[in-house]
Structure 1
């Protein structure tokens, strides 16, 4: 089969690789009908996620048709059309039983490796390093889905692939980021990053009752899409974000702030972001948390900072004194996608949101290596790429 593979920093390829096979009775094999390049995949391309190996198949946003089912899987049958959560979960352990599927205790075979870095291991993820299980990803013609009697959800007739695809990751992630804000009537929510996850967070904040959303980015196409979703926008190269948010909230600050950027924040936004870039380039730091610092300072007293951008290591110079003295609440997670799927599927069916609004580019797998670069470099108005194997 054809698949997108990683071969080192900046080296993504479309190659022929062996077809996946059933390895466990609960597995299923999915013939991929649509997959996507995620902003998190750019962290892989940029070489900042450890434990990648040459030839690893990437991708964690996919859906398709079931073509083979393990003998113990009673939830799916051949021919079912499903969307696959990026978090892999057994459905039975302590965390799965509580709905915290991204904390699954059984799905990461390399849990000891992850625990050395983070203290405990999260769930395994598709196509996202050996630290998180070494699972082959979904940017391919076929993908093996472990614990497939728990994760994938059937897509109803009449719902297009493009409407359903983003239930795999970015829609639940953006929605979770807004849900973490505990939005009350009249609230103002600030969202850093108007990429695909940020766009979903903006619209989810309005779905959950926000009165205003202030969206921060510098890419014109992203800012325009945010305005189309009802947000006020700030270009961080044109204004002082802190001063502008203070002005627009009568000096109080945003009721909640969503960091939808994560580890690779723009390295030209401010002095501290330049310093972050120097530290990571010289191996004196692991992440570039400029946005998180700014979100903390822009949040009102006793507000919430919601973190859905990916961070990997040890964050430097975080203003924790501000957070503790002003009573801030922090909420963050890799999204327990299975927890959100039925409810978000229903919202799509009711017409409350059509997640396909975010798509700007469609292509086949063979075009993916070039589109990785287009997406990374923010060229050609690229916000979201969907691949059709």
Structure 2
């Protein structure tokens, strides 16, 4: 089969590799009909995530048709159409029973590595380094799905791939980011980053009833899409984020602040952004936390910071004293995808939202390597790329 593989920083290739096979009783093999490039894939592309190995298959946002099932998998059958969550989960451990699927205690087959780095293991993830299990990803013609009897979202007839593909990651990620804020009708919600996750977060905050949703970015196409989704926009290249947020909240600051950017935040005019780039270049810091600093500073006292953006390692100069003294609540983490998917699938079926709005480019799988650069550099109006094997 053909698959997109990582061969080093900025080196993604479409290679021919062996087809996957059933390895364990709960497995399924899925023939991929659609997959996507996620913003967090760019952290791998740019070489910021630990424990990637040359030849690793990329991708964690995919769906398709079940073509084989293991002997112990009684929930799926050949011909079922499924979206596959990026988090692999057993459904049986203490964390899974609590609905905390992204920290499943059993699915990371490299849990010893994760224990050493994080203190405790997190769930296994598709296509996202050997720290999270080294599982081959979904930017491929076929994928082996371990623990597939739980790790799936079954899709009913009548919905297109484009409507439901993002149930595997960015839609529930945006929803969880907003849900973590416990949005009230009087709240202002400020969202840093209007990429794919930011776009889903904007629409989730609107659906959850925020009084005012503000999106912060610098890319005109992203800001236009955010505005179409109900957000007031701030172009950080043209105006002061701090002053505009103060103006729009009568000096009080937003009650809820969401970081939909993560470790590669950009802020060309800010001193701390220059500082972060220098420290990152000489390996004294892995992630750039400009957005986190700005959120702590502007958030209203007793407010909430929600962090769906991916961070991979160490950050510096976080004003934690300000966060503590302002009484801010932090909520963060990888997405517990299946905690949200029943509700979100119903919302798609009811016409409350069609997540396909975010797609700007659809290309064959073999064109994927070039689209990584287009997506990363925000060229050609690119916001979300769907690949067709």
Q: Shorter-chain TM-score category?
A: over 0.9
Query: Which whole-Å CA distance do the structure 2 matches of 1:316 and 1:202 have between them?
Result: 28
Per the normalisation by structure 1, the TM-score is 0.99
Q: Map 1:85-164; keep pairs closer than 5 Å.
A: 85-164=85-164
**Counterpart contact for 1:105–1:123, Cα < 8 Å:** yes
SS of the residue 1:356 aligns to: helix
The change in CA–CA distance for 1:359 and 1:269 in structure 2 (over 3 A counts) is: farther
Q: d(CA) in 2 for partners of 1:346 and 1:231?
A: 24
1:381 matched to which residue of 2? 381
Equivalence for 1:338: 338
1:293 aligns with 2:293: yes
Q: Deviations over 1:28-50 (max 9, x none)?
A: 00000000000000000000101
Aligned residues: 389
Structure 2 CA distance for aligned equivalents of residues 269 and 334 of structure 1: 30
Deviations 1:299-318 (A, max 9, x none): 10100000000001122111
CA distances 1:168-227 after superposition (whole Å, capped 9, x unpaired):
000000000000111001211000000000000000000001111110000000000000
What corresponds to 1:65 in structure 2? Answer: 65
Q: Name structure 1 gaps, 5 residues minimum.
A: none
CA distance in 2, matches of 1:193, 1:121: 28
The match for 2:318 is: 318
User: Secondary structure at 2:68's aligned position in 1?
Assistant: strand
Paired with 2:226 and 2:364, the residues of 1 have a C-alpha distance of 27
Report the CA distance between 1:120 and its aligned residue: 1.0
8 Å Cα contact 1:267-1:276 kept in structure 2: no
Secondary structure of 1:301's partner?
Answer: coil
| Aligned-partner Cα distance in 1 for 2:154–2:307 | 29
- 2:369 aligns with 369
| In 2: Cα distance, 1:298 partner to 1:223 partner | 21
The equivalences for 1:222-301 within 5 A come to 222-301=222-301
Contact 1:183 1:205 in 2 (8 A): yes
Deviates more, 1:178-187 or 1:167-176: 178-187
- By how many angstroms is 1:117 displaced? 1.3
Tell me, which stretches of 5 or more residues in structure 2 are unaligned? Answer: none
Q: Shift of residue 269 of structure 1?
A: 4.3
Report Cα offsets for 1:223-281 as digits up to 9, x if no partner.
Answer: 00000001000011111111110111000000100000000001524110111011011
| Partner Cα separation in structure 2 for residue 225 and residue 325 of structure 1 | 36
Q: Distance in 1 between matches of 2:275 and 2:6?
A: 29
Match of residue 353 from structure 1: 353
Matched residue SS, 2:255: strand
| Structure 1 Cα separation of the partners of residues 301 and 127 of structure 2 | 39
Alignment of 1:195-234 (within 5 A): 195-234=195-234
Shift of the alpha carbon at 1:114? 1.2
CA–CA distance in structure 1, aligned partners of residues 240 and 224 of structure 2: 19
Task: State the distance in 1 between where 2:267 and 2:33 align.
Answer: 36
CA distance in 2, matches of 1:349, 1:377: 34
The root-mean-square deviation of aligned C-alpha atoms, in Å, is: 0.7
The whole-number CA distance in structure 2 between the counterparts of 1:329 and 1:34 is: 37
CA distance in 2, matches of 1:2, 1:239: 46
Equivalent in the alignment of 1:45? 45
Would you say the 8 A contact 1:267–1:277 is kept in 2? no
SS at match of 1:39: coil
Runs of 4+ in 1 over 2 A off after TM superposition: none
- Offset at residue 297 of structure 1 (A): 1.0
